[in-house]
Amino acid sequence: MNISESTALVTGANRGLGLSLVRLLREAGCKKIYAAARQPAELGAGVEYPVLLDITNPEQVTAAAAQCHDVDLLINNAGIAKFTPLLAALSTDNARAEMETNYFGTMAMCRAFAPVLKRNGGGALVNVLSVVSWFNAPMQGSYCASKSAEWSLTKAARFELRSQGTRVIGVHAGYIDTDMTAALTLAKTSPDDIARRILAGIERGDEEILADERAQALRAELLGDYGPFEAAMQQTWDRSRPSH
């Protein structure tokens, strides 16, 4: 996919990785960039196409799909992390909030924009996941569960949307140096570096982007080659659909 010829929508664009993605898309010559946030006033100067969007709000998701009718590159970056354990937390409130945003909110965006992408030639749908999609760190157990669910959602969308020409891409990274991880004293990668690797992967046509060294190392350590299995699953899905 050629970034300079695309019309993009980035969710969670007011800070961190989303902010970097918008800026680097602009530097790459992206034809048109919609920047979405729950508070568009936080997007700052220079954003030509702001979008009011809380991805957990069905009405706002529907309105965004209508407003951004020309999008052929959707980057689902919006997400939350509460950094609480699963069972030791005082309540299930954080787990519900993470699942509502990271899983159900992303699903709502995929469902709303799948027909938009189809009308515009297929394009690409990018879900920003995490290395904890692959394992559970119990200190943030509910967040890991939501990201694992989002990874599975990404694969399901890939199976379903391949026939319309939409490339579905999952991005995996470790800790990114953003407001979300400000309290953590661990090795982090700059959001600009992650954004550059995401855009490079989109242009290469990757379906899985390992956006930092931690993602690359953990992918090799934890997961084998599941490509043949997923190819067989794609065939199973394709055979289940009515022929046209």
CB under 8 Å to 92, separation ≥6 — which residues? Answer: none
Q: Which of 114, 129, 211, 210 is nearest to 167 (CA)?
A: 114
The C-alpha angle 83, 42, 8, rounded to 5 degrees, equals 90
C-alpha atoms less than 13 angstroms from C-alpha of 196 in its C-beta half-sphere: 6
Q: How far apart are CA 90 and CA 86, in angstroms?
A: 9
**Catalytic member of 49, 143, 175, 226:** 143
Tokens at 70, concatenated: 């020309």
SS3 of 171-206: the string is EECCCECCHHHCCCCCCCECHHHHHHHHHHHHHHCC
**Four-point Cα dihedral 14, 120, 1, 133, nearest 10:** 50
Name the one residue in this structure whose structure tokens are 């579905």: 168
Q: For residue 6, give the nearest of 119, 123, 111, 91 by alpha carbon.
A: 123
Q: How far apart are CA 195 and CA 6, in angstroms?
A: 16
Q: Is 34 a catalytic residue?
A: no
Angle of helix 227-240 relative to helix 141-161, nearest 10 degrees? 50
Indicate which residues carry an active-site annotation.
143
